[in-house]
Structure 1
Amino acid sequence: MIEASCHCGAVRLAIESAPETLTDCNCSICRRYGVLWAYYRPGQVRLVPPDAATDTYMWDDRSLAFHRCRTCGCVTHWAPSDPARDRMGVNARLMDLDVRAAARVRRLDGAVTERYLDD
């Protein structure tokens, strides 16, 4: 079990396993947030406390809700608006450095082609 936490500690994510791969995306929102995404099935991630105070932001087709801590503003994760979608993203920049260092980082060109640059 690993943990990701916002700066103030009000929002924590308990995650079943360390990520093997992280995604560094340059799309319009990810580059502004400065995040590295680790992808999981929603059942692999627990919000601690379950009612942690987050605000959400949705745009465009409103298929993803980006969550951030109401206190310190750190982007913690995104969740699909469709509960049938079995994938969510956790901001790996909120994980310990040693957890991130063990993962491969893939660069996704989400700004132009929506393809991985290292494939």
Structure 2
Amino acid sequence: MAGEATSQAVTLPITGSCHCGAVSYEMKVQPRFAVECNCSICRSLGTVWGHGEAGDIAITSAPEATLAYSRGDKELAFHTCKTCGSTTHWEAIAGEAKGRMAINLRLAEPGTIEAIGHRHFDGAETWTFLD
């Protein structure tokens, strides 16, 4: 697979923050790959996700620093900084994925996505990887 063939170790933890620095994250483990999804929300946000277990990801921010957005089945909450508007992460709040999170790797150091390996996911129609 395209993303797996180029993946290599990255410096752990993976860290990133919103533009203004009010919300930051730290991921203790390397995701299998960086995922770019074409569903309506991910396409609108321009995100590339690093998925993991909630216990392996720490979000640091002041209370109420993010706006949580959820629609449809209300299983995922997308978090955006209230100050600068950067989408930092999502968390599964219900359903089978509960306990999972993803960080927006576009907010990590340049080269992180390429080092992990970038895959494209069809979240709009087939719910499969496109590579």
Q: What TM-score do you get using the length of structure 2 for normalisation?
A: 0.83
| 1:25 corresponds to 2:34 | no
**Would you say how many aligned residue pairs link Structure 1 and Structure 2?**
118
Amino acid at match of 2:40: S
CA distance in 2, matches of 1:85, 1:61: 13
| 1:76 corresponds to 2:88 | yes
TM-superposed deviation, 1:52: 6.0
Structure with more helix by fraction: 2
Written as runs of structure 1 = structure 2, the 5 A alignment for 1:24-103 is: 24-49=36-61, 51=63, 53-82=65-94, 85-103=98-116
Amino acid at match of 1:15: M
Q: List per-residue Cα deviations over 1:7-64 (Å, max 9, x = no partner).
A: 1101000211343401111011110000001001001111113636000111001111
Q: Which residue of 2 aligns with 1:12?
A: 24
| 1:115 corresponds to 2:96 | no
Specify which of 10, 14, 31 is matched with residue 2 of structure 1. Answer: 14
Whether the 8 Å CA contact 1:10–1:52 is kept in 2: the answer is: no
Partner SS, residue 111 of structure 2: helix
CA distance in 1, matches of 2:63, 2:25: 12
Q: Which runs of 5+ in 1 are unaligned?
A: none
Amino acid at match of 1:95: A
CA distance in 1, matches of 2:72, 2:58: 27
Q: What TM-score do you get using the length of structure 1 for normalisation?
A: 0.90
TM-superposed deviation, 1:112: 1.7
RMSD: 1.7
